[in-house]
Chain A
Amino acid sequence: MSAALFDLALRVAARDQGGPVPRLLHSPAPAREVLVAVAARRTGPVVHVQVVGPDGRTETGSGAHGLAAIARAAGCAGGDLGTGATALVDTTATLRALAGLATAYADPARCAGLDVAAGSALAGWWVERAAHPGTSAVTDVLAATRQRFMLGVVPGADHAHAWRQALSVPAALGGLHSWHRAVTSGTVLPGLDAIREDDDWLLEGQQNALNDARSWDRPESLHIAAARLATRCDAADLYDAALLADPLWRARAVHTGFVCHGEAVVGAGAHGNRLTVRAGRLDTRLKSGTAVTGWAGDPMTAMPDSENRFSGEVYATAVEEGALTVTIGGLRKTGYRPAAGETLTVIPAPPSVSTIRSRRSTVARLYRRRFSWLSQGATPTSARRGVPLAVLIAAADDLEPTED
């Protein structure tokens, strides 16, 4: 509830300001070197595509010609996807329409030319990666704008037209380029490199399929299906952690319980590996076993580098005399060690990229085994994890039927 009041204050401030108020100091949407604004609409069985490339030229087409238009605008009509062009869209309807169209022409044997096959491979990459927050393959500028700014209107009234007006964005599709520039100014949220590497991995797969003149939409093996679910979950976790690197988002996260803020009542000292933080708020989401990192200062204090942060694990939480005490143990021997009396900010530790890679290697190895563990008599250790809500929602989202 108090996060709703935090947002209300932003809306009131935006209303007083007469324009958008930032929710993030960083850009939430990384992008590639080449950007193309895309709109796709389905009319009956036909998908109409309009694309504006970096040179400002508008390319249009329907069905296979729409895919060729994409390839021309992105500069990959010759079959070289390059480093991949970022798609700028302002509605998820575009991606839903492109999903069916791209899949229908996934097999180069069904395409009249290489430009159609290249457009299909690129659009297929967009559609797949769009489900990963923090991707550099696609930017939904409306969603990114709502993430980064707040307008002085009631929730739900900040529709695309209102944002275009507030940011002085031209109405045509080409306006998405200037809209994107307005929303992504400044530095990108840190910690999204691993998601970009996943973007690269899938793009390489699309390029290889295109080079080999085979369909990029082959049936998934169990391993690929598991890997794709894992990358979606990892992307959601990495993106949530990246948001906490932004001081304005941390200020809000105090009111959602993800950021704990208080005074060190028992410091780590020179040799100890525990500290206790006393916080005025009881509604923290930090619980026993949660890996955390923290530093001296308020939530809006700039997050220092790892040498000037402490890292550990929540050992226990308790309520004493109306205040929350959080005991953090397993502190490193080197680097910053908080002293008693210091004001501290504590957040969940970001996911370890090396752990993610290691887990994926293990899963890949297990799926490559010739025999099932059922026939080997050695039951593997079960490993379960929560699936982020965003991934569940994406999985529940119905896709439109593919174009015949």
Chain B
Amino acid sequence: MSGQAGAGEFAQWANAVLAGTGWTPATVREAADRPRDDLATAALADGFCAAARGLTAEGAGGAR
């Protein structure tokens, strides 16, 4: 999935999942650097942290 249609669908889905958390698709990346004061922010921050760790490990193990 790529392009405008995919981006729109993804943003719409992300908006629905983030509803009530105080985060939006535009701001959600900032959660990685915020204190984990609430469950939603902690989950997002841990997710970004795990993604970074995984990508680093992938890079160290050689590109697929």
Which A residues form the contact surface with B (CB < 8 A)? 1-17, 21-23, 25, 152-155, 157, 162, 167, 182, 185-186, 247-248, 251-252, 254-255, 281, 300
A21–B55 touching, CB < 8 Å: yes
If the complex has contacts A25-B54, A182-B64, are A8 and B18 also in contact, measured as CB distance less than 8 A? yes
What are the residues of chain A within 8 A of B42 when measuring CB–CB? 2, 255
Task: Report the number of A-B residue pairs with Cβ-Cβ less than 8 Å.
Answer: 109
Which B residues form the contact surface with A (CB < 8 A)? 1, 6, 9-10, 13-14, 17-18, 21, 25, 28-29, 31-32, 39-40, 42-55, 57-58, 61-62, 64
B28–A12 touching, CB < 8 Å: yes
The residue in chain A whose Cβ has the minimal distance to the Cβ of B6 is A153
15 A-B pairs with C-beta separation under 8 A = A5-B17, A5-B47, A8-B47, A9-B45, A9-B48, A13-B51, A21-B51, A21-B54, A25-B57, A154-B9, A157-B6, A186-B61, A248-B50, A251-B46, A255-B39
The residue in chain B whose Cβ has the minimal distance to the Cβ of A152 is B10
Contact of B51 among A3, A14, A247 (CB under 8 A): A14
B54–A23 touching, CB < 8 Å: yes
A298 to B58, CA, bound (A): 21
What are the residues of chain B within 8 A of A13 when measuring CB–CB? 47-48, 51-52, 55
> Which secondary structure dominates chain A's binding surface?
helix
> Which secondary structure dominates chain B's binding surface?
helix
B44–A6 touching, CB < 8 Å: yes
A197 to B12, CA, bound (A): 47
If the complex has contacts A2-B39, A281-B39, are A12 and B54 also in contact, measured as CB distance less than 8 A? no
Give the distance to chain B from A191, nearest Cβ to Cβ, in Å. Answer: 20
B43–A255 touching, CB < 8 Å: yes
Please give 5 more A-B residue pairs, beta carbons under 8 A apart, in addition to A5-B17, A281-B39: A7-B47, A8-B28, A10-B50, A155-B13, A251-B53
B17–A4 touching, CB < 8 Å: yes
What are the residues of chain B within 8 A of A9 when measuring CB–CB? 28, 31-32, 43-48, 50-51
A157 to B5, CA, bound (A): 13
What are the residues of chain B within 8 A of A23 when measuring CB–CB? 50, 54
What are the residues of chain A within 8 A of B29 when measuring CB–CB? 12, 16
What are the residues of chain B within 8 A of A255 when measuring CB–CB? 39, 42-43, 46
What are the residues of chain B within 8 A of A6 when measuring CB–CB? 43-44, 46-47, 50
